[in-house]
Structure 1
Amino acid sequence: MKIKAIIVDDESGGRRLLKKLCNRYLSDKIEIVDECNSVASALISIKEKNPHLVFLDIQMPDENGFELLSQFENIPFEIIFTTAHKEFAIEAIRKSALDYLLKPINFQDLKTAINRLESVLEKKLNTNRYQLLAENLSQPTSGKQRIAFPNKTGFEIIHINQIIFCKSDGSYTFIQTTEQQHYTSKSFKEVGELLESEINFLKVHRSYLINTEYVKNFKSDVYVLEMTSGDEIPVSDKSFNKKELIDAITK
């Protein structure tokens, strides 16, 4: 089954390039069934065409791509956002396990996004990631934000402020929260990028990222942090001297 897709972008050049990439390189996987230059025209097209996927431009003159989502109580299609700017919204999109493409769009990024989309459609994942996106957009700097972490069966939604520490585990990442343990297929580097903007998170070792709110004790003789969970986290003495570490975990 081919993925039926609609492109929503006010710039004709952007629509033309994306359609050209899909037709030239991904014609066996995706069919562009319509192009729209506004939210209003996209609403009409979506009702008529019933697409599996919408490529949605974030910033359009006098309107925002997110306004399209607010028109649906339950969003019946997948979305890949497109944008020319790395703005705050990108963080909310990533934390909701949704895809985006930076303009000018290149084939490799597009191919990767479509491959991920196929996996989502095959598993018929029902996690409401669009509701999660709306929540994270409304509170971009709040510890109340949640992240959708992919795992073997779909996604787990985790509150950022409940994460005690993250540990690299090969191609996976172990996450200890105040409630339970989790494994995600996101790499330690990817998890770090999602959490690096949060003020309480600190990378203390090449394999460990901690939430400083849950530090119980610093054993300075062995350079180990004891967390409220009882776990002991090694600290790289090459990254911090004692004063720098104490300042970082008590700020």
Structure 2
Amino acid sequence: MIDLTLIGIGSGSPGHLTREAITAMNRADVILIPDKGADKADLAELRRALCAEVLTGDTRLVEFAMPVRDATDGYAAGVERWHDAIAERWEQAITRHKAQRPALLVWGDPSLYDSTLRIAERIGQRMPLQLNVIPGITAIQALCAAHAIPLNALAAPVLITTGRQLRDHGWPECADRIVVMLDGDCSFQGLEPQGVRIWWGAYLGMPNQLLDHGPLAEAAPRIIARRAEVRADHGWIMDIYLMQRDPA
């Protein structure tokens, strides 16, 4: 029986690690570190730095090469094949290193717009598996804390969606406040900006954290330009934003 633990690590700051997460990291015999290539080497280094900060025992760090996603025949089919390939890499690493208590460090929280749980289900189909999940601080929490704002308006709902959904379907009619994740295209550009405010954050909790907010018409050009600049500098970016629409 493989005892696999998925550990939410927040947005990259050691301060985002809960005591439960630190205990789980030290309990693991192997922590799997995905290698996404030279352009995203900082992501693997951030995981290694977190481990160096809190590991006190014999936990080993094992890197594995992340497969590249191919969406030539459609987004959904490409993602399914990609998840199959990742699960195969996990299995190979676990078997090769004879890991009994492997763990993976998940940005934010494993339950929210993250596919690690779905990939773990595939591992459970390949070998006997006990799955444990350690919740983490989400990028949504980090964004609201950084801007010192509540997630929802008074007694009002909030909707969490993706850049793809916003781009393809526009502003959801069921909410006046929305959080947008996984948006590599700044999909807010397709909205009518009148009466809309935005709170944006990138690299939340890290030393290079970036924030901007204001009326969408004014803030959007700043965010687009800054986002492109820092993504070129680092080779990657993790960002998120919250928008509020005037009900009138």
> Relative contact order: is structure 1 or structure 2 higher (C-alpha 8 Å, sep ≥ 6)?
2
TM-score range, shorter chain: under 0.3
- Name the one with the larger helix percent: 2
After TM superposition, the score normalised by the length of structure 1 is 0.26
After TM superposition, the score normalised by the length of structure 2 is 0.26
- The structure having more radius of gyration, on CA atoms, is 1
